[in-house]
Amino acid sequence: MTMSAMFEGRVAIVTGAARGLGETYAERLAAEGMNVVCVDVQEAVRAVAARIGALAVVADVGIVGGVKAVVAAAVRGFGGVDVLVNNAGRWKQTPCDSGDREQALADFREIFDTNAKGVYMLARAVVPSMIERSKDAGEGALGGNIVNISTYYVLPPRPPEATGTNPPGTDLYAASKWALNGFTQAWALTLRPHRIRVNALAMGATDAPMLRNLFKQRGIDPPPADVVATWMTRDEQAQLLVDLLAEGVDGRSGETIGSWVGEPIGLPPRRAAGELIV
């Protein structure tokens, strides 16, 4: 089966699709022939969806009502779900020595509701549809896919950050992404018999609004051109997503696939059965 035949008419939900990586993921999957549901809390997602011929849902995946609205729209519009790209995420500085307990709790809710709770609820909500649509997926077919978008913080550091990649002052963001490791591995083991694969993409510096905003918060706007030139691109990350999906129903599952600045971006050799992510 060709990739175009594998992807044509399949249904993908992409969260955080109003801009940045989510927008690029949605564009690429639509270009490959998928029916895409673009989800975001921002109204701008409607323009993205209109431009690529997709369905827009303005919703917060961190709340139950938002998740229900997304899944209902996918089922009503396209009959079900084959691919879920859990891309929506929040980042902010959360220094653990601030002493402001009320703010600490508010920060926890803000970040974990989207980065962990939203991922959890949306995946649980789409699994019944994926099981139904994947039960007859033969060799070379797409099957069901859940892809959690993570960060290289959760992978062993590589030079030049050989002492670690989890930066100070971002404990909640880092912890929320470490949580995805548990989801990815447990779901992969549970859902493999249903012909559903679960993987994560964990990337380093990629040219997206979240990274540019970090520089802006530090009073550097725009970021230096020589720095931007080292960043990976959204198109490169979208290609990695497509390559992962194109492995088909018999492809890898339970892996967190990293990409690092200055290194080739691509799928590594598949891990041995039972091998841990880290």
Q: Is 145 exposed, middle or buried (0-12, 13-18, 19+ CB in 10 A)?
A: buried
How many CB atoms neighbour CB 214 within 10 A? 17
Residue 42 makes CB contacts below 8 A (sequence gap 6+) with 18, 19, 58
Smallest Cα–Cα separation from 213: which of 19, 59, 17, 15? 19
* 120 is an active site residue: no
Q: Which of 120, 152, 153, 173 is catalytic?
A: 173
Question: 16's torsion region: left (phi>0), alpha (psi -120 to 50) or beta?
Answer: left
Unique residue bearing structure tokens 């939203």: 118
Would strands 196-203 and 256-259 be described as parallel, antiparallel, or unpaired?
parallel
Residues labelled catalytic = 173
